[in-house]
Amino acid sequence: MDLGPHADFIIAAYTTAIAVVGLLIVWVVGDYFAQKRALADLERRGITRRSAEPRPSGVKEPA
Amino acid sequence: MALIDLANPTRFLALVERVLPWLVAATVLAFAVGLRGAFLAPDDYQQGATVKIMYIHVPNAWLSMAAWGVMSLAALGTLVWRHPLADVAAKCAAPLGAAFTFLALVTGSLWGRPMWGTYWVWDARLTSVLVLFLMYLGLIALWRTIDDPARAGRAAAILTLVGAVNLPVIKFSVDWWNTLHQPASVFRMGGPTIDVSLLIPLFVMGIAFMLLFLTLHLAAMRNEIMRRRVRTLLLTQAERA
């Protein structure tokens, strides 16, 4: 494909876009696994949310 | 599921888990179709192949303003309706908006050099978009400055609504002032001035970038909800100790 006399500018623009979008994806996915690990670590230590704790018998689920 | 049910973070997380794989697939497909169209589209009669920069510059410029629009709606949700997910949505849109604004500025510069003979000029359009980028950075800094997410959310919401004044300035800067940047050529009275052979790939790339924003925004909101759960659990544990 012939990108003409300004091919460098076109390639630089697309490369920058790919790099920035790639960084965003890596950041979001990396953060997801970090938070998942942190929650799993807390759960392993017995620290859970009240809603995640087993309910005493006779107590109904909220609507 | 009623819309109000999404105010519950647990239900929102369940929805995100269901929707996210489909959004990822739709985004990849839209980019594949859009990029193919962009590279098969004819060159511009004046700009030649350099017009291909348009397919990434213009969608990023649209998104730079759309992300602030999303944050402004979320700011209203925080201040008026006190929606529990509103400040989560605003906080997660800010880095994405900053990244897309950065891309609009950089790709615009790379397009400007061969077409205008300069990377940068202090005209109204370029300067107002640079101001938008700096406002994104300011908001991100504000979020990081205040520890309590609820307090940070309210402060950021006020700043976001004040900053929204810049959106019409960006949009109409090319009409109100004499700028090197060309006037509106897609969303304008009288219809687009771009030939349909270039316009269709541009719209597909626009949809692809919108889908990318939506996908990343929902994923980042999921992360933020999890981060707040971790924070709450650590605070609760500290209080018990």
**Per-residue tens of pLDDT for chain A, all 63 residues:** 788 888 999 999 999 999 999 999 999 999 999 999 999 998 888 877 766 665 555 555 554
Q: Which residues contact B34 (CB under 8 A, 6 or more apart)?
A: B55, B201, B204, B205, B207, B208
Amino acid B5: pLDDT: 64
Indicate the pLDDT class of residue B150, thresholds 50, 70 and 90.
confident
Report residue B178 as tokens.
């004499």
Q: Which among A1, A12, A36 is the nearest to B110, CB-wise? A: A12
A–B: how many Cβ contacts below 8 A? Answer: 92
Task: Say if residues B10 and A50 touch (Cβ distance below 8 Å).
Answer: no
Task: Say if residues A55 and A61 touch (Cβ distance below 8 Å).
Answer: yes
Amino acid A63: pLDDT: 47
Q: Is the dihedral of CA B116, B109, B131, B90 positive or negative?
A: positive
Indicate the pLDDT class of residue B163, thresholds 50, 70 and 90.
very high
Q: Does B106 touch chain A (CB under 8 A)?
A: yes
Q: Which among A10, A35, A49 is the nearest to B50, CB-wise? A: A10
Task: Say if residues B151 and B134 touch (Cβ distance below 8 Å).
Answer: no
pLDDT tens readout for residues B92-145:
999 999 999 999 999 999 999 999 999 999 999 999 999 999 999 999 999 999
Share of chain B above pLDDT 70, in %: 98
Amino acid A60: pLDDT: 57
- Which residues sit opposite B48 in a β-bridge? B44
- Which residues sit opposite B44 in a β-bridge? B48
Report residue B196 as tokens.
């349909």
Residue A44 with chain B: CB contacts under 8 Å:
none
Burial zone of B181 (CB within 10 Å; 0-12 exposed, 13-18 middle, 19+ buried):
middle
Amino acid A5: pLDDT: 87
Mean pLDDT across B158-169:
94
How crowded is residue B178: how many other Cβ atoms within 10 Å of its Cβ?
7
Amino acid A3: pLDDT: 83
Amino acid B20: pLDDT: 96
Residue A48 vs residues A40, A44, A57, B149: alpha-carbon distances, Å = 10, 9, 19, 20
How crowded is residue B230: how many other Cβ atoms within 10 Å of its Cβ?
18
Q: Is the dihedral of CA B62, B66, B67, B69 positive or negative?
A: positive
Mean pLDDT across B138-161:
93
The residue count of chain A comes to 63
pLDDT tens readout for residues B177-230:
888 888 777 777 777 788 899 999 999 999 999 999 999 999 999 999 999 999
Residue among A16, A59, A27, A49 at smallest CA distance from B235 = A49
How crowded is residue A55: how many other Cβ atoms within 10 Å of its Cβ?
10
Interface of A with B (CB under 8 A): 1-7, 9-10, 12-14, 16-17, 20-21, 23-25, 27-29, 31-32, 35-36, 38-39, 42, 47-49, 51
Report residue B218 as tokens.
């929902």
**Are A16 and B107 an interchain contact pair (Cβ–Cβ within 8 Å)?**
yes
Report residue A27 as tokens.
């950041």
Task: Say if residues B93 and B140 touch (Cβ distance below 8 Å).
Answer: no
Question: Could you give the ipTM of this predicted complex?
Answer: 0.90
Task: Say if residues B208 and B75 touch (Cβ distance below 8 Å).
Answer: no
Nearest C-alpha in A relative to B115: A6
Mean pLDDT across B41-56:
92
Indicate the pLDDT class of residue B88, thresholds 50, 70 and 90.
very high
Query: Where do the domains of chain A lie?
Result: 8-42
SS3 A44: helix
Share of chain B above pLDDT 90, in %: 73
Indicate the pLDDT class of residue B29, thresholds 50, 70 and 90.
very high
